Structure 1
């Protein structure tokens, strides 16, 4: 295998990876976030998460923090172009959602452009985000997601095509990406500059590589380096925002214009209230006892039943959220298992009411890591992918297989 072409990489800046001193919390209060023509009062974005950030969950988060930007689950450009029923359902928003944000994943410039034109031209969303951050093997092994920016010409063409397709409708396009494939194949600085020059409205960086997956500690110094490199549009930071204090510290260390919250809101939709308070200079935080958590779970169940128009399907989909909601609270194994098997709102109410609801907030035990974590792993990429920064005919054919599903995980 030949050596890869040189790629922009970030020198070490700021605190070393994992060194997160938080004394003082001197982060400046941030102004509202501007995404094209849209003003986001609280500079906080809900990251799209497959199977999580559906209409029901977005509404629940918005009820706690109405000033943020809440992005729908990712859809593939191919599914939109083929007018797949589920894909179109994902990019159908409730009245009152504003701005309406959709995330599109694609590997072919023409298909991405066509999908963006459908979304923007049919007034399905006010903002389109492009996914170049997915580390899931089923995506990366075909050249998509977090490994695609390695092919810089393809990345440039996709981003440019999306911006051009959205422009006539006044819909801004943003880019979400990772640092690169691994520490030896970093792409984020180059990709950030390409996206800026192509006319995107903002770039967001999950400060991990595809090889990191969700493990370890996010490298916030990379966000700082991107902010110093991309200077004319907002730069958003993503990775390890488990509390409002984490968000303030990220801003202090990196100078980013806003934060993107993913796993940190799983089972904790009230984090958006904390973030709104923090960015407005308040130290008031939500510290829910189990009774309030139970009411939030039930509210989530109601919203899920409405979203699916099926109480059984809605409460079944809610099951995966139970462990996140109950993290840190004294709830026995039998009660947890029962809640993880609910199939109706009546059953959900009964099981919640049977808990010891007098429990206070358990503090740090309810916070921190949740959801996927895993360990670093060698990224799955197409054979020969790292040999060149240019796209071969063989890899072009392989990429077409990367858009076969509606949502990429």
Structure 2
């Protein structure tokens, strides 16, 4: 069997990480299967210039149509892209597995040409873009169930309607199969006018339990009495990731029993409460270092306002570190309330709700330090390379047999 995977990036971003881990798991447990990843190559100066120019043109066309300029990367038009339908690996593939294709990598026109090759196609949905008129998260808008005419992101423009309509045409092809990496996104896709007649599966992302696992962290007597919280984001200032909400909630904790670890880059100063001890470690790409940090923390905090199935939560749980997170997207697939973390209410006063979770974490840190090994084992079994790769292989075989 020959599998070809398509994702905009080879490394970086949740979809790229999930895609690479799936490929790695198949290579590990199914060595007779040939895998190939097609991504946006960026090794030569000319390629970098072309990629950047394509992205600038695509976003430039969108710039005057979008209501809020800060949302420019929260909506993708996919008008520009590469001609992958003639790619040798795609032409030779038995199965085409698409992940995330935006940022001027694969246009809808080129996607249509790939679908018309009449090969079985699997598309793993890492956000909502697959079945919307262009937004990656709809912020509660349900226009994707109809025609995306009243787009909350755009000024009076029909680009969302046109894209939605074009996707409906593409998705009529019986060979196009959708997979949600969370129950939440699978259910939304089933409710959409694009995916309502599709047999949509729910297969989570895999985690390498041989790497991400519980280990006894180095002792630090100065921090032993404190509750150690970890927050990570490639960009600490990204409002979607919710660090501002966490810091505001911490501001209500009038004690010095919390130590905050921040992983990620920051372009502007962070307003960390004076009563909190903290350390900022910058952006870390080294997995071994990240695993040490996950193990060091008592709790991982994920106060995102929008998310599907964050790899960071899965990584934290695999290391035995419970998670505090808003009950959004597919996060409830990962967190069992007060068993391996705390699901925070995502309505009302978010800062107060998160502050309640922080109080609970401080009160229960000793108990959960004893549960780290069992939390780790549970996550590594549920999302193991062997289990998730088998789920996908069974899907591939079923599609080929049909």
TM-score (norm 2): 0.30
Q: Larger C-alpha radius of gyration, 1 or 2?
A: 2
